[in-house]
Chains A and B, each alone.
Chain A
């Protein structure tokens, strides 16, 4: 019974939810669910999990560009059919894991993946830089200050040697969000790439009353910078521009307040966040570089800045120290000294609760 456009209620199924999780488990996972004993990374990107029953599951992890086509997914399916009895999974960070139970197929799978040009880079495990979680950017969202996929591609090309190796002191997790909405939750990453606007929205007075709910726009502003105002015969708003911190929230509520700007927008780089509870509690990322202009197609300054952070960290940090732990040990004064980044007034917080970030001790380094 195919879809009937004239009777959309016919045979309609709703609220069925996702397929039950175990529907796509390989048999070995079903049999050993909750019985896994230990794991080992055999080489970068290749894991083995060993069960109490003695069963072994191999996973080969490959990076992807996240934005992929049906052709790509079909190729992935061909590979999984050939070596993995059709079973595979994705990780939270947009890597694919090919799941192998037959050890004799492991090496052929790896060789096959390597033979397919650069579609399936193997790595992303352990003390590496794995796929950059990111958002939509210019490809598909309405509020971005930067592109997402393009910057990620340029940065990963540059850091590729750290994807398929374990030569960093600890894992480095990079994330990108193209606006302060942070769909990608970049605020707790070792290195965060954030799209920022630097000009207040402009107001199309003749459109506001037709396309916007003015009370919602006013309520949307975190700094109460927006007031209603009559402009000629139009019911519109005014923005106290000195109070605007360029969040774009009003634009989300009202398309007659464009905020994107080719000269104003660009990239801020944040460092030292982490999510896991291991050793030290989760930490927010902090501002390292307030602004880098948009430089499509390959954002060379962003790429260079991130490489600088990674290299200074790699040479200076102790084993197991995440970037945030390393910075807490050496101090921010040393971080700016060692990276050569300029410390500017933007680094000093001036928003709510700012004083919790100011130095209230004479303990610092010269």
Chain B
């Protein structure tokens, strides 16, 4: 069947060595008119250099406030098959492992009731079903839950779908059980995930080590990053094997060939705290100075491993620029054990959310609220003591807000006694 819309500009994107989304959509457009219209609409955007989607309207499945994003095109006159083209977010399994049978069933549902197009995956982690009509939302939801055991993820002013790195499932560096933590958070906060109740979005992400493969520190309102407090484990023989050229440095990340590792230049000089020494035979690490950056471990994965006293650093407040500017997460709990049932963590989350819901303005992210009211207010609210690990440097401006409780006599003054000491 010939496609209805000519797409000369998009056709340029069918060329070249990288997989082409245009080629992919085109083969589905042969049998699905909405994909044909989607290509036509996109071609129009390429011509106009402007998008052609309107604001999301309120659509969803019954009882959920999140998981569906309404989408309507602004040229239904030309592209009636994408007049309604809503997005559904499906909560992915932690770390995104799949078995083909579940993916095939998902394809069958989505072929029948939607456009047949996905984002695998969205930026937050969900599987994105890209384009369906309002009347299909309930049937799709029913089949997802009944046939696949899958549920919708978050959108709107609620907890967004949490995400973790591959962790212990396939990474030797993971200091925490990222899958289990993410699953636990997701299940415990199903209500917060599906029914908007917050000032704005809230994201959790967990990475197993400071390499932070899910970018938790940059993307999550609450970032959980695995770390250790004791010594890096060293296999001295393997260190010598790297230096002697018997092992591939960096696990092959710079090329698979074996070569002698210049341990001084490539490891010791690159250590941010210069806490390592090599005497030609043994590697010495002054662990009390190590900031656990992972560099030496990354370069000599068969010789060095994180320590055994493992847990997580909890950081809060990361966000993209809208509104108050981009922020990275800041350390608030330097170390927490993170063992099931994660009670200490959930108590912290409860107090954090209570404070944010009480003080946060509409569309104010946690990081912005902390910026507005101060980290001290936050620490007070969640019951944490100040710690030098929370800062890069103590303040250098002298404008300190003291609490009357911290000053003898509070802020009340005896004017008469003052004037007895001083003539006006």
Q: Show the binding face of A for B, using Cβ within 8 Å.
A: 1, 3, 5, 8-9, 11-26, 29, 33-34, 36-43, 49, 57, 59, 63-74, 76-77, 80-81, 86-92, 94, 118-121, 125-127, 133, 135-144, 147, 149-150, 153-154, 156-157, 160, 163, 166-167, 171, 177, 180-185, 187-188, 216, 219-220, 222, 247, 249, 252, 255, 260-262, 265, 275-280, 282, 284, 294, 296-298, 319-320, 351-353
- Judged by a CB distance under 8 angstroms, whether B419 is at the interface is no
If A42-B252, A127-B254, A140-B130 touch, whether A24 touches B53 (CB-CB below 8 Å) is no
A80 CA / B101 CA spacing, docked (Å): 10
List of B residues within 8 angstroms of A13 by Cβ: 145-146
Count residues of B near A (Cβ-Cβ below 8 Å): 135
| Interchain CB contact under 8 A, A36 and B170 | yes
19 new A-B contacts, CB < 8 A, other than A41-B253, A156-B18, are A8-B138, A19-B102, A21-B95, A26-B97, A38-B302, A40-B248, A87-B99, A89-B98, A118-B20, A140-B85, A140-B87, A140-B131, A154-B16, A157-B15, A185-B218, A188-B218, A216-B362, A262-B50, A282-B218
- Judged by a CB distance under 8 angstroms, whether B351 is at the interface is no
| Interchain CB contact under 8 A, B28 and A71 | yes
Least CB distance, B277 to chain A, in whole angstroms: 18
Stretch at the interface among B174-182, B279-287, B381-389, B410-418: B174-182
List of B residues within 8 angstroms of A157 by Cβ: 15-18
Q: Which of B15, B125, B322 sits near A182, CB closer than 8 Å?
A: B322
- Judged by a CB distance under 8 angstroms, whether B197 is at the interface is no
If A38-B301, A278-B295 touch, whether A92 touches B214 (CB-CB below 8 Å) is yes
| Interchain CB contact under 8 A, A21 and B118 | no
- Judged by a CB distance under 8 angstroms, whether B372 is at the interface is no
Of the A-B pairs whose beta carbons lie under 8 Å apart in the complex, a sample of 8, sorted by A's number, is A24-B99, A65-B18, A120-B19, A183-B124, A188-B328, A297-B12, A320-B295, A353-B325
Most buried by A among B151, B163, B321: B321
Within 8 A of A (CB), among B160-174: 163, 165-166, 168-172, 174
- Judged by a CB distance under 8 angstroms, whether B121 is at the interface is yes
Least CB distance, A211 to chain B, in whole angstroms: 9
| Interchain CB contact under 8 A, A24 and B98 | yes
List of A residues within 8 angstroms of B107 by Cβ: 70, 73-74, 77
Stretch at the interface among B186-194, B332-340, B401-409: B186-194
| Interchain CB contact under 8 A, A180 and B103 | no
List of B residues within 8 angstroms of A188 by Cβ: 215, 217-218, 328
Q: Which of A49, A59, A66 sits near B172, CB closer than 8 Å?
A: A49
| Interchain CB contact under 8 A, B177 and A142 | no
Least CB distance, B236 to chain A, in whole angstroms: 16
Q: Which of A33, A41, A276, A294 sits near B49, CB closer than 8 Å?
A: A294
| Interchain CB contact under 8 A, A73 and B91 | no
List of A residues within 8 angstroms of B362 by Cβ: 216, 219
| Interchain CB contact under 8 A, A275 and B212 | yes
| Interchain CB contact under 8 A, B28 and A121 | no
Least CB distance, A160 to chain B, in whole angstroms: 5
Main secondary structure of the interface of A (DSSP, over half): loop
List of B residues within 8 angstroms of A255 by Cβ: 54-55
Report, nearest first, the 8 A-B pairs whose CB atoms are least far apart: A126-B253, A157-B16, A41-B252, A182-B320, A138-B45, A277-B210, A21-B94, A15-B190
Least CB distance, A277 to chain B, in whole angstroms: 4
List of B residues within 8 angstroms of A141 by Cβ: 51, 53
| Interchain CB contact under 8 A, B270 and A279 | yes
| Interchain CB contact under 8 A, B18 and A160 | yes
Q: Which of A25, A39, A73, A76 sits near B97, CB closer than 8 Å?
A: A25
Nearest neighbor of B107 in chain A, beta-carbon distance: A70
Within 8 A of A (CB), among B26-70: 27-28, 35, 38, 42, 45-56, 62-64
List of A residues within 8 angstroms of B15 by Cβ: 157
List of B residues within 8 angstroms of A351 by Cβ: 325
| Interchain CB contact under 8 A, B183 and A139 | no
A69 CA / B52 CA spacing, docked (Å): 21
| Interchain CB contact under 8 A, A280 and B150 | no
Least CB distance, A119 to chain B, in whole angstroms: 5
| Interchain CB contact under 8 A, A265 and B179 | no
List of B residues within 8 angstroms of A319 by Cβ: 254, 266
- Judged by a CB distance under 8 angstroms, whether B424 is at the interface is no
A340 CA / B191 CA spacing, docked (Å): 53
| Interchain CB contact under 8 A, A183 and B18 | no
Least CB distance, A73 to chain B, in whole angstroms: 5
Least CB distance, A354 to chain B, in whole angstroms: 11
| Interchain CB contact under 8 A, B254 and A166 | yes
A281 CA / B383 CA spacing, docked (Å): 27
A16 CA / B179 CA spacing, docked (Å): 17
List of B residues within 8 angstroms of A140 by Cβ: 53, 71, 85, 87, 130-131
- Judged by a CB distance under 8 angstroms, whether B25 is at the interface is yes
If A20-B183, A86-B99, A276-B211 touch, whether A29 touches B49 (CB-CB below 8 Å) is no
Stretch at the interface among B109-117, B341-349, B352-360: B109-117
Nearest neighbor of B29 in chain A, beta-carbon distance: A69
